[in-house]
Chains A and B, each alone.
Chain A
């Protein structure tokens, strides 16, 4: 079975600053990987390179065995297998919740509206907010908005879901409702890469925890090993600060 995501020697520079230093990472299909690390460690950059919001300058990224070329036209069908959830939700404020979800189905997949709405409603039910479908995003709480964002990404039927600090902008009470949805999603066998500081989530859901610092992967291990016996001093320092 081919890997869902393969990073081989991926490097990325912002001007003279190297944000990613030759990353190697393989995520198997159905695997749930949590990426953590201090801010500026390159974890967001990595996840954004996977779906090409940022273009890496060296190395290869393969999604389900297909290499990304950097040409938008050729990469588009490959990238359609990934869905992304952002820290700041990034819902479209001028559309209702339902329109946010059906929008890409209509315009990218050319799906008839009725069909698109049926799909959207099924995913809104899955994240438990079908009753908010006719509201505008800014009328919802942060947690509800993030759940809409998850439903919106799921509508495109991705095989890989990328989460970029999905709970960092939320109040503690709302973090819980978003994490619950993510735990449920993990239960369906979706391949997930989650950048987060929610170590509770990492412990219960992750198959593997990846720790990054200074644009490198310092260490990676199954959560029980990672939390009980980290091998590097840098990892221990990080864990002692956030636990």
Chain B
């Protein structure tokens, strides 16, 4: 024989034994791998069945769907079924609080504007997303507060509202222009006017924006919304206002505080450490009480700060202190080499912090940040203690209504679902965000 090498031909793979694949295989491996395991499985199924069937029976099967008052419900099914008509009758109040019925469209419009403002952030081919996001955070509050609160316009007030309206109009004009022509609103107008050079184009772009501002200013000054004082605000609306402002405020404030805590300037560092530690070592409820009852004592006579505003400030400060520690954790996870590489390439502190460090830190912090947002959203129920009618206190009010006297469980069940939906959506969105941002960047 010659000494030609033997040829290695790999054997074809056998199929796996049938008992280890498919549904049967999975069940065998995970549910019935041993006798105790099988017992636990059956026990688990039994408990699950008992709990779910009890809930389903109460909430759906035995439930009363039509009744005039609680008495009728009790006569029909006693306590074995839910009395939903009470909740249904109160839904407008659970959502809008004591907001005047004929003005509720203003809340709806306000939130629709918010959604419409945010939509371009998810549209493809829109490039000015950072500017749109910033305009949303900075300008929407003016527009929203006028929609929600209304009242007399002063010149400054009108100017600010018009700023919000202009920013909203610009968001959509520039999004549409970028999707259709690949150009922002300003450059597009400049091209229509046939601008000769960049300088002219920039001037025409700003001119167009100024014209837009004048137009919205005129429109806004024609608006005349009745004042709805904040003591009429309530329900889900109030919960969303407080937590929305808290969320929008706490992230940037937390970043600033965390950077301050790591600062090399002693005065700034001491201030930030004191602030963070003070607010983190006191329960939110104490802070709310403090702001609600004690703050007016310190303020000069005649200066009245709105009760809602006091609660919002308290929530914001509390949330920022927590956020600061989360952000600091994220900043610490970024290796020192990243700062050094940025410095070696000539980047200054602010450039390297905002472009190199924070984008990486914020990405790894997403789970904790959203966890904090969810916590904050649920913590807003505490404002019911200082007499604000958030979703929780509105749901308690159902059982105090003479027609639905004692109806507490059903409204609680209902708002539980609302809280669950909001928190679940937030957490799902954060998981989604994490997946998308992490693409291609894992080892």
**Residues of chain A at the chain B interface (Cβ within 8 Å):** 51-53, 72, 76, 79-80, 82-84, 86, 88-94, 103-104, 107-108, 135-136, 138-139, 149, 152-153, 156
List 7 additional contacts besides A90-B337, A92-B360, A153-B345; criterion CB under 8 Å.
A52-B343, A79-B346, A86-B344, A88-B337, A91-B341, A92-B341, A108-B346
Binds A, one of B162-170, B398-406, B435-443: B435-443
In the complex, A211 Cα to B338 Cα: how many Å?
Answer: 29
**Residues of chain B at the chain A interface (Cβ within 8 Å):** 335, 337-338, 340-348, 351, 355-356, 359-360, 363, 440-443
Most interface-central of B335, B346, B347, B359 (chain A CB within 10 A): B346
A107 engages B341 (CB within 8 Å): no
Residues of A within 8 A of B351 (CB): 107-108
Question: Closest residue to B349 on the A side, CB-wise?
Answer: A72
In the complex, A94 Cα to B351 Cα: how many Å?
Answer: 15
A165 → chain B closest CB, angstroms: 13
- A86 with B337: in contact, given A72-B348, A93-B360, A104-B345 (CB under 8 Å)? yes
In the complex, A103 Cα to B347 Cα: how many Å?
Answer: 10
B338 engages A90 (CB within 8 Å): yes
- A94 with B341: in contact, given A76-B346, A79-B346, A138-B443 (CB under 8 Å)? no
Question: Closest residue to B338 on the A side, CB-wise?
Answer: A90
Q: Which 7 A-B pairs have the closest CB atoms?
A: A90-B341, A90-B337, A84-B344, A104-B345, A108-B346, A136-B440, A136-B441
Question: Closest residue to A77 on the B side, CB-wise?
Answer: B346
Residues of B within 8 A of A84 (CB): 340-341, 344
In the complex, A103 Cα to B293 Cα: how many Å?
Answer: 52
Residues of B within 8 A of A89 (CB): 337
B359 engages A94 (CB within 8 Å): yes
In the complex, A136 Cα to B440 Cα: how many Å?
Answer: 6
- A80 with B346: in contact, given A90-B337, A90-B341, A138-B442 (CB under 8 Å)? yes
- A93 with B441: in contact, given A104-B345, A152-B345 (CB under 8 Å)? yes
- A86 with B442: in contact, given A104-B345, A107-B351 (CB under 8 Å)? no
In the complex, A86 Cα to B342 Cα: how many Å?
Answer: 12
A83 engages B355 (CB within 8 Å): no
A135 engages B440 (CB within 8 Å): yes
> What are 21 of the A-B contact pairs (CB < 8 Å)?
A51-B344, A53-B340, A72-B348, A76-B348, A83-B344, A84-B341, A88-B337, A90-B335, A90-B337, A90-B341, A92-B338, A92-B341, A93-B441, A94-B359, A94-B441, A104-B345, A104-B347, A107-B347, A108-B345, A135-B440, A136-B441
Residues of A within 8 A of B346 (CB): 76, 79-80, 104, 108, 156
Residues of B within 8 A of A88 (CB): 335, 337
B347 engages A108 (CB within 8 Å): yes
A138 touches which of B347, B348, B441 (Cβ 8 Å): B441
In the complex, A152 Cα to B356 Cα: how many Å?
Answer: 15
In the complex, A138 Cα to B440 Cα: how many Å?
Answer: 8
In the complex, A72 Cα to B342 Cα: how many Å?
Answer: 14
A151 → chain B closest CB, angstroms: 12
Residues of B within 8 A of A72 (CB): 348
In the complex, A53 Cα to B338 Cα: how many Å?
Answer: 12
B106 → chain A closest CB, angstroms: 42
B140 → chain A closest CB, angstroms: 28
A161 → chain B closest CB, angstroms: 11
In the complex, A90 Cα to B338 Cα: how many Å?
Answer: 6
- A53 with B440: in contact, given A94-B359, A107-B355 (CB under 8 Å)? no
In the complex, A238 Cα to B344 Cα: how many Å?
Answer: 31
In the complex, A72 Cα to B349 Cα: how many Å?
Answer: 10
A159 → chain B closest CB, angstroms: 14
A156 engages B345 (CB within 8 Å): yes
B343 touches which of A53, A139, A152, A156 (Cβ 8 Å): A53
Question: Closest residue to A96 on the B side, CB-wise?
Answer: B440
In the complex, A98 Cα to B359 Cα: how many Å?
Answer: 17
B344 engages A53 (CB within 8 Å): yes
In the complex, A51 Cα to B340 Cα: how many Å?
Answer: 10
In the complex, A138 Cα to B346 Cα: how many Å?
Answer: 23
Residues of B within 8 A of A94 (CB): 359-360, 363, 441
A139 engages B440 (CB within 8 Å): yes
Question: Closest residue to A152 on the B side, CB-wise?
Answer: B345
In the complex, A53 Cα to B351 Cα: how many Å?
Answer: 16
Most interface-central of B340, B348, B356, B443 (chain A CB within 10 A): B340
Most interface-central of B341, B347, B441 (chain A CB within 10 A): B341
In the complex, A88 Cα to B336 Cα: how many Å?
Answer: 11
Most interface-central of B335, B340, B345, B348 (chain A CB within 10 A): B345
Residues of A within 8 A of B335 (CB): 88, 90
B33 → chain A closest CB, angstroms: 38
Residues of A within 8 A of B442 (CB): 138
B340 → chain A closest CB, angstroms: 5
Residues of B within 8 A of A135 (CB): 440
B340 touches which of A83, A86, A136, A153 (Cβ 8 Å): A86
In the complex, A139 Cα to B355 Cα: how many Å?
Answer: 21
In the complex, A241 Cα to B343 Cα: how many Å?
Answer: 35
In the complex, A136 Cα to B337 Cα: how many Å?
Answer: 17
A76 → chain B closest CB, angstroms: 6
Residues of B within 8 A of A93 (CB): 360, 441
Residues of A within 8 A of B356 (CB): 92
B393 → chain A closest CB, angstroms: 44
In the complex, A153 Cα to B344 Cα: how many Å?
Answer: 9
A153 → chain B closest CB, angstroms: 7
A142 → chain B closest CB, angstroms: 12
Residues of B within 8 A of A108 (CB): 345-347, 351
Question: Closest residue to A76 on the B side, CB-wise?
Answer: B346
Question: Closest residue to B341 on the A side, CB-wise?
Answer: A90
In the complex, A136 Cα to B341 Cα: how many Å?
Answer: 17
